Structure 1
Amino acid sequence: MTSNASRPSSRTARWLSVVALASLAACSGRDVGQLTAAGIAHLDKKEYRAAQIEFKNVLQIEPQNVQARFLLGRVLLEAGDSMGALVEFNKLAEAGYDVEQLAPLSARAMLNQGELDKLIATWSDTQLSSPASIAQVKATLAAAYGIKGQLDKAAAAVQQALAADGNNMEARLAHAQVLATGGDAAAALAEVEVAAKAHGDSARPFLVRAKLLQDGRAAPADVALAFNEALKRDPRNAQARLGLIGLHLRAREMDAATAEVAKLREADPNGLPSLYFGTLLALDKRDLKAAREGADQLLKMAPENVAALQLVGSVDYETASYGQAAAHFGKALLRAGESASLRLMLARALIRSGEMKKAVSTLQPLVGDGPSPEALTLAADAYTALGEPDKAKLLYQRAVALNPKGTQARSALALSDISEGRLDQGLRALQQLAKTTDSAQVDLLLFGANLQARRFDDAAAAIAQLEQRQPDSALAAFLSGQLAVARGEAGQARQAFESALKREPSQLGAVVALGALDVQAGRSDAALARYQSFVERVPRAMEAELAIVAIKSQQGATTDQTRADLDRLVKKYPEAVEPVIAQARLMLDLKDVKAAQQLVRDLVAAFPDSTQALDMAGQVEMAAGDFNQALQTFGKLAAIAPRSATPLLRLAQVQTARRDTAAALTQLRKAVALEPGHRDVQFQLVSLLARAGKADEALQQAQSVQKILPEDPLGWTMEGDLRAGKANYAGAVAAYEKSLSKGKVGATAVKLHRAMEDAGKLKEAQAFEDTWRQANPDDPLFNYYLGDRYLVLNKTDVAERLYRSVLKSQPNDGATLNNLAWILGRKGDAEALKFGERALAVAPNSPDFMDTVAELHANAGRAAQAVTLQRRAVELAPTQPLLRLHLAQYLIKDNQRAAARRELEGLESLGTKFARQDEVKRLLATL
């Protein structure tokens, strides 16, 4: 990034920064006569809070007292509440108050609020007679013109101000700013000296001197000296204090900055400057909860202030509220007139919130003549996301040409090679870049590319390099956790994520990862507590809040409560699509497809270019059976992201649901051409080819995946499935063994064991079983599979041990709980009912689980309870005759013989469709 990319590129930056800082600094029984006099005395001493109270007391007694209202407006303006001051000045204007007194203060308040167009429209043509008023208003107009970049008008306004009153301080200072903007820094400083000598008791000339010195890149000590001179004349001057704080922050002198903020708060504890820099320091310290609270107060106190809006947007960005960040940066940009730094901030927020087209539009003024590499790179990122790689690559190349040593654009070009299938070439470029830069971003990209390619050792090397660059950063620990997850090492992953949180307690990614590990281990209570604790520290953490709702729902929260929680999040995050998507998924789970359709219609109307919104809308339309509309929606998604394989995968899913296999295969082949490494697309293509009877082509496709993703087990797993499907068990065994060598996946272990047995390799199967269990004793999938296998073999003791092993890591697995309850029930173990009821708590509407628990009640002599539960099972699964047979048995035990006969006669009428007719006849004979 060039030196100019981080600050306003036009000469109007000087005007903007002066006004923005000034607007921050500005914010920080007696009878009417006595109250007014007391208020004026407080105002003269700059005791603004006390003065406000006195003048407000006057207005309570005499609401029409225009002098008190004028003084109140002046106090508010000097104290920094420009918006409140404008309210009072507007009331005075309506009452016909003396324009000579009102104009200078009203104009200044409008300038502080950023209401430049209103300021110019209201006061540029107003005829005034007082030289002092004319000079003040014209000087303020000059500042407004300067901010808008209308420098000729600014210079003309200054000349009018000086002609009216050559000794007017604001006119002199405005003249200095015009001279500085024209490039004559020496003359500008000389003009400031004239103002300082003429107005020796005022802090203003020294504040302007400090700003001119800063713009001229003078030594920080000289700038600090000017700010301290201002403080000698006005010890409570917030703007001077702000300047010193800014100097300390830029020098990363955090203790000194904190000390200055403390002095600022002492002078004006409730003022805008105190709040602003308190929030800024909290953000710098990563105290996101305090920063969020400060940002919310800033919005209430100064909703139109450019500096405040920029800081609020930064807090939004750091707390992942990207939509809100974009809104606040955008508002600040409108107020500022033009600011390259604000444009870049806005573009980053738009990209993170998925608004790629808006990001491109925002960046257009910065990618034409004299562009910055950062603007070019951001625009290229947006074009990449929009599926326009040719435009993106051109912009990346321009960025590299402007800054050959820059990492962003060079990294992006390497990633382009990787995404287009040139993995080795892209990785080599990233590795070369890592040797020539100190940027941790390159290490991060190397890690991601290697992890995706399952080159775990190379990914670990990238983490080690990152740790050397940033030894105290939480990022390296977080990436180590991700690597451990990919390797299937849950314990190591947990340790790494915990380490990341110790280094950075506000890191949402580590909290989400640990919560996911908790849930996988069946410790949903621990996950819930973890998320809740994080939200207490960081109040705006949408992903964590959505996770809380999901866990509570899994734990048995009512549908109404889940709805209420999601409604609250939709209101809290109006800029985000995720809470509405969660609402739509809930409606689909509840089979309320119409409600889901209405939600996604409104969502797409609000976010027409959001890929997430369109993707969810298409899925809802599929669920509703509206395949034509789903095709249209996914077609629009494909148009927005033409270089992404996901929309084509969705189109293929619709075509498959319509049983148009040929069309689905066409879409999947296009998707593979776009993204050869897209695992879901490859899997769907191979699966559909096999179902379509194209076994040879399916096998060829699976083997091509082995070449495209040589370190990924997917290709060999698919080959094993295809060979097993053709009863080529020996070939399946070989493929599965190769797959397991690439990644230890429990599901593949199950397939390999089954294929060995089907191939007649029983000794090999037993040896593999022993080896796998020894290396992976807590693999829930393999243990559950073995439990079922031994249950069929009537080795219930072995099955019981295996099921109990599963429950150690999956304590809420309903199927395991149910099977264990059945085994214990056969043994007459009283613990059986406990496991059965736990299974029902997990899946309260499962007919199979009800059947098990009903049997346990019946065997224990609780026939009435058995009948009640079994009737419910039959209602849920009326076509399962075995459930009716069991109901008849329990009805007999409960002495409901007539009802039992009706059930048995119904079963008898099924004839050979129900294999247990002998038992039906035996029971009928007993009635």
Structure 2
Amino acid sequence: MPDMNPSRVAATLAAVMLLTTGCARDPDPAQLMASATRRQAAGDNHAAIIELKNVLQRVPAHATARLQLGDIYLESGDVLSAEKEFRRARDAGAAPGAVLPRLGTVLLLQQRYDQVLTELLVDDAWPAPEQGDIRALRGYALLGLQHQADAARLFAQVLAVQPANTLARLGEARMALQSGAVDAAMKDVAGVLAAHPDNVDALRLQGDLYRRAGNHAGALDSYRKVIELRPANLQGRLDAASLLVADNRIDEARSELAAASRIAPGSAAVIYTQALLAMQEKKYPAALERLQLILRAAPDHPPSNLMAAGIFLTQNNVPQAEQHIQRFLAGQPRHAFGIRLAAQIALRGGKPGDAVALLEPLLERGAGDSQLQALAGEAYMRTQAYAKASACFDKAAAIAPPTAATRTSQAISELGLGNNQRAEAALEQVLLMPGDAAGDGAQRRAGALLVVTQMRAGAYDKALATVQALEKQQNNPALQNLKGGVLLARQDPAGARQAFEAALALQPGYLPALQNLAQLDVLAGQPDQARLRYEAVLARNGNDTELMAALARLAAQRGQMAAARGWLERAYRAAPDAMAPALQLGTYYLDAGELPKALALAQKLQAANPAHVGALALLARARAASGDGEGALESYTDLAGRQPGDAAVQLQLAGAHMALNHKQEALAAIRKALESQPEHGPALATAVRLLTDMRSWDQAMALAHGAQARPATAALGYRLAGDIEMARAHPALALPLYRKAYAQEPGGPLAISLHRALVAAGKPDEAASHIANWLASHPRDLPTRLYLASTLLASGDYRAAIPHYEQVLAIEPNHVVALNDLAWTCQQAADKRARGYAEKAYALAPANPAVADTLGWILAQQGDAGRAIPILKKATDSAPQAGDIRLHYASALLRTGERREARRQLERLQADRGYKRQDEVRTLLAGL
């Protein structure tokens, strides 16, 4: 071997390297295309993509490479990249017959049906096969838009010219599948596969048909044939994986998913199927995490929104479930399963009217579906349309053997119709079902409902016998708690206490039994024992916010408002991200008149949880209470938009409009409430009151007459007609209407209406006798007694009013309104107890400006102006529009010689032309 100089070796190597590099720089595109095709056929799509990109680096306008690259992207599930390449191929001069069917396919996969019809236009000059394929794809788009008849005409038109057109034949199969004609669809697919056994689309559809028919083994064979033919076909892998997930063959599903991930690691379809697997394993947080990856990039992705809605419903997160199902139905408004899920979400969210509206169109074409009939029955039952509910449950039972849940719901409908015996029979049938058929949960619910039904009928012995029979089959804390309730109804508090304690022995800390025991303690005059019970359990469960809420209720019941606030604030600190304690605290602040705190908390909650309707409702209330009418209207409008079928929300929106004197807008909101729930009593009453204020007598009376015509609202209709006549100063015409309403549905509100009408008609003795008789037979009717007391107070009969306030306090010692009004009445009657009642009312509700005004004015009149002034100032600042409170404050200032500040307050009152006590204001100013 010759001895070579190192420098010569280096030079030789450099020459070789340069030669090699030069060859790499100038590859032949045709060779690269051939290599890409070989690699694609071998299933190595990644290598094929590299080869094709090398071609396109050299020849960007290489239309064939663009088409082939798009095909690989499409097979790998990257639909967006495929669409880009097909469009670039078209721009590079690819023949329309080659590019348009591909472009149509990717648009269909993205459900962009209108775009398919816009972009895929047929040229009669094209060859027949190309025309046929384009028309068939347009047919698919029409199918997606639910235009079945137009799609059928297109498919028939193609097949008349080309009987063997595969796309059109498969289109007819898909149309048959949509209409439920599985056998016809299978026949069409079999015809295609007989001619083209390797047609991947036909094999996939065959798998879908087998799956629809319950033949999962056949479906898996079809999907696996796709994988054998196209190992890199992403959709075939995912079809197999989703079927294996449904069959709970988790390991095999995981294997297919792993293969799919290698084909397309970041594909939305892969991530979605991973979420499906996590959901099957009940790993809901993991499933939602995967779905969020998709929804962040594509917020309207239908399958992800549908699955997310189902998972959130499982987690009882109704607001989030609503948000996702609404997104899903916005794109697929006729999707039967989506509509059913939306109805279930509406029922869980307390909107049965929405559920009925969703399900009624389905009932027209799904009369033979037992599950649909049962769901509709549940919705009708919740709207108190018991006859329709019972009919649906009967149909469901005729189609398939009734489940325990269906029987139980049917019993509730029978109760609503007054058929107690039929209801009891249905519930007894549930209890006789074998455990496997009924399910423990269903039997527990049926047993509890049967006991409650018997108790409502006053059959306490029968109810106790039912509980004792249930004890032999099962024993749980809920049953023992129910037994305690039966024993209480039988006037056996000792036995009831024993049952509640048995419930706690089975499950220490079982809150319903704990609350019942605490109530027994309170009734026995041992509220401290009740508190100790709660605190002992809380010591073991230090962050239990429900226990803290129970302690807050107990403290409020005892008038210990500072303690109640403390417990609610502690619960909020213990779980700042939990909505329940936060909403309870916000509601407490509102009820206690602590408006700045309520508003601040509501704003914080709504900002952190913009989708939570509870937070939005609290913010709306807080804004309204704080005098922010425009802000309240904005929040209630948002709330009504999210819950369009909720009559109560529409009524709140009407109230916000009324606060701003938007009468027509308020009326429109009330009418919307009545559209969804025509028998909604508060909405009817508000509508009549508003129309009466507008002096639209005929419209108001028409509403009242309409209510009279419906059995459920007949009594209300007569009462409303009476209210209209009273507003028109026709008490003589109002009286017979009120009497008719009272005869149908006697109650405190009608007793009050009759009293007013009798007084206005010049019959004060009959009025006094009527309301006294009512209260004698209903001594615990506190609202009616307070009405009578306030009437006597307004007439100046202070001595007669005092006993009525005292009777209210004997039943409810911490009734703030009664304490406040009694304090004022005693002060007017020169009764020395006035200050004591006022002090107690103020201790219970220090933030209430009316309560503060009563105490402050009593203190001022009794010579304690020094203490009165800060209390009256606080009341004035809290209620700046309340002229009487400002007048009391100015008078107290004068008593202490603070003449300058007194003048300022009096001049503000003088500037208020609407204030009626201007004579007193002028007298005080003159004294200055």
In the alignment, structure 1 residue 243 sits paired with structure 2 residue 239: yes
Q: Give 1:270's match in structure 2, choosing from 260, 266, 279.
A: 266
- Residue identity matched to 1:311: M
Q: Give 1:414's match in structure 2, choosing from 396, 402, 411.
A: 411
Structure 2 unaligned spans of 5+: 1-20, 479-502, 520-529, 554-563, 718-740, 759-766, 790-803, 823-835, 908-916, 918-928
In the alignment, structure 1 residue 310 sits paired with structure 2 residue 306: yes
Name the residue aligned to 2:621: 585
CA distance in 2, matches of 1:77, 1:358: 39
CA distance in 1, matches of 2:552, 2:413: 36
In the alignment, structure 1 residue 528 sits paired with structure 2 residue 580: no
Q: Is the 8 A contact 2:294 2:304 kept in 1?
A: yes
Give the alignment's Cα RMSD to 1 decimal: 6.8
Q: Deviations over 1:503-560 (max 9, x none)?
A: xxxxxxx99966854754542344324654457xxxxxxx788668768989987688
Q: Give 1:104's match in structure 2, choosing from 101, 110, 115.
A: 101
- Residue identity matched to 2:86: F
Change over 3 Å in CA distance of 1:171–1:252 after alignment to 2: same
CA distance in 1, matches of 2:586, 2:59: 54
CA distance in 1, matches of 2:135, 2:670: 58
3-state DSSP of counterpart to 1:367: helix
Name the residue aligned to 2:337: 341
3-state DSSP of counterpart to 1:125: coil
1:283 CA displacement: 3.8
Q: Give 1:113's match in structure 2, choosing from 110, 115, 133.
A: 110
Q: Is the 8 A contact 2:514 2:533 kept in 1?
A: yes
Larger radius of gyration between Structure 1 and Structure 2? 2
Q: Deviations over 1:841-870 (max 9, x none)?
A: x78998579989x99xxx9xxx9x999888
3-state DSSP of counterpart to 2:780: helix
- Out of 240-249 and 621-630, give the one that drifted further: 621-630
CA distance in 1, matches of 2:770, 2:607: 51
- Residue identity matched to 2:103: S
Q: Is the 8 A contact 1:158 1:175 kept in 2?
A: no
Q: Is the 8 A contact 1:446 1:462 kept in 2?
A: no
CA distance in 2, matches of 1:514, 1:867: 40
- Residue identity matched to 1:271: S
1:77 CA displacement: 2.2
- Residue identity matched to 1:717: R
Identity %: 18
3-state DSSP of counterpart to 2:215: coil
Q: Give 1:717's match in structure 2, choosing from 770, 780, 793.
A: 780
Q: Is the 8 A contact 1:518 1:526 kept in 2?
A: no
CA distance in 2, matches of 1:110, 1:236: 21
Q: How does 1:890-909 map to 2 (within 5 A)?
A: none
In the alignment, structure 1 residue 364 sits paired with structure 2 residue 361: yes
In the alignment, structure 1 residue 614 sits paired with structure 2 residue 658: no
Change over 3 Å in CA distance of 1:314–1:86 after alignment to 2: farther
1:589 CA displacement: 0.9
Q: Deviations over 1:667-721 (max 9, x none)?
A: 9997585899xxx9955445656777856655777899xxxxxxxxxx6632998
3-state DSSP of counterpart to 1:717: coil
- Residue identity matched to 2:426: A
Q: Give 1:754's match in structure 2, choosing from 810, 834, 847.
A: 810
Q: Is the 8 A contact 1:276 1:298 kept in 2?
A: yes
CA distance in 2, matches of 1:525, 1:347: 36
Q: How does 1:858-869 map to 2 (within 5 A)?
A: none
1:616 CA displacement: 0.5
Q: Is the 8 A contact 2:257 2:270 kept in 1?
A: yes
Name the residue aligned to 1:828: none
3-state DSSP of counterpart to 1:415: helix
- Residue identity matched to 2:370: P
CA distance in 1, matches of 2:477, 2:238: 31
CA distance in 2, matches of 1:362, 1:77: 38
- Out of 264-273 and 664-673, give the one that drifted further: 664-673
CA distance in 1, matches of 2:190, 2:533: 60
Q: Is the 8 A contact 2:226 2:233 kept in 1?
A: yes
Q: How does 1:246-395 map to 2 (within 5 A)?
A: 246-254=242-250, 257=253, 260-261=256-257, 264-265=260-261, 267-285=263-281, 287-300=283-296, 307-315=303-311, 317-318=313-314, 319-320=317-318, 321-331=320-330, 333=332, 340-349=336-345, 354=351, 356=353, 359-360=356-357, 363-368=360-365, 370-380=367-377, 391-395=388-392
- Residue identity matched to 1:587: R
- Out of 450-459 and 374-383, give the one that drifted further: 450-459
Name the residue aligned to 2:79: 82
Structure with the bigger RCO (C-alpha within 8 Å, sep 6+) is 1
- Residue identity matched to 2:572: L
Q: How does 1:120-139 map to 2 (within 5 A)?
A: 122-123=119-120, 125-126=122-123
- Residue identity matched to 2:106: A
CA distance in 1, matches of 2:172, 2:77: 24
1:595 CA displacement: 4.4
Q: Is the 8 A contact 2:343 2:354 kept in 1?
A: no
1:438 CA displacement: 1.0
1:248 CA displacement: 3.5
Q: Deviations over 1:864-889 (max 9, x none)?
A: x9998886567678867987798689
CA distance in 1, matches of 2:692, 2:513: 35
CA distance in 2, matches of 1:329, 1:657: 43
In the alignment, structure 1 residue 647 sits paired with structure 2 residue 683: yes
Q: Count residues with an aligned counterpart.
A: 734
3-state DSSP of counterpart to 1:104: helix
CA distance in 1, matches of 2:131, 2:663: 70
Change over 3 Å in CA distance of 1:181–1:699 after alignment to 2: same
In the alignment, structure 1 residue 596 sits paired with structure 2 residue 632: yes
Change over 3 Å in CA distance of 1:103–1:754 after alignment to 2: closer
- Residue identity matched to 1:333: Q
Change over 3 Å in CA distance of 1:605–1:717 after alignment to 2: same
- Out of 445-454 and 364-373, give the one that drifted further: 445-454
1:135 CA displacement: 8.2
Q: Is the 8 A contact 2:534 2:547 kept in 1?
A: yes
CA distance in 2, matches of 1:109, 1:204: 14
Name the TM-score, length of structure 1 as normaliser.
0.58
Name the residue aligned to 1:438: 438
Q: How does 1:313-712 map to 2 (within 5 A)?
A: 313-315=309-311, 317-318=313-314, 319-320=317-318, 321-331=320-330, 333=332, 340-349=336-345, 354=351, 356=353, 359-360=356-357, 363-368=360-365, 370-380=367-377, 391-403=388-400, 405=402, 410-421=407-418, 426-436=423-433, 438=438, 440-441=441-442, 443-444=444-445, 447=448, 481=511, 516-517=549-550, 520=553, 521-522=564-565, 523-529=567-573, 532-534=576-578, 561=600, 564-565=603-604, 568=607, 572-573=610-611, 581-597=617-633, 600=636, 609-621=645-657, 623=659, 634=670, 637-638=673-674, 640-648=676-684, 650=686, 671=713, 682=747, 684-685=749-750, 694=767
Q: Is the 8 A contact 1:671 1:681 kept in 2?
A: no
Change over 3 Å in CA distance of 1:97–1:545 after alignment to 2: farther
Name the TM-score, length of structure 2 as normaliser.
0.58
CA distance in 2, matches of 1:90, 1:690: 81
Q: Is the 8 A contact 2:616 2:635 kept in 1?
A: yes
3-state DSSP of counterpart to 2:332: helix
1:569 CA displacement: 7.1
CA distance in 1, matches of 2:641, 2:210: 51
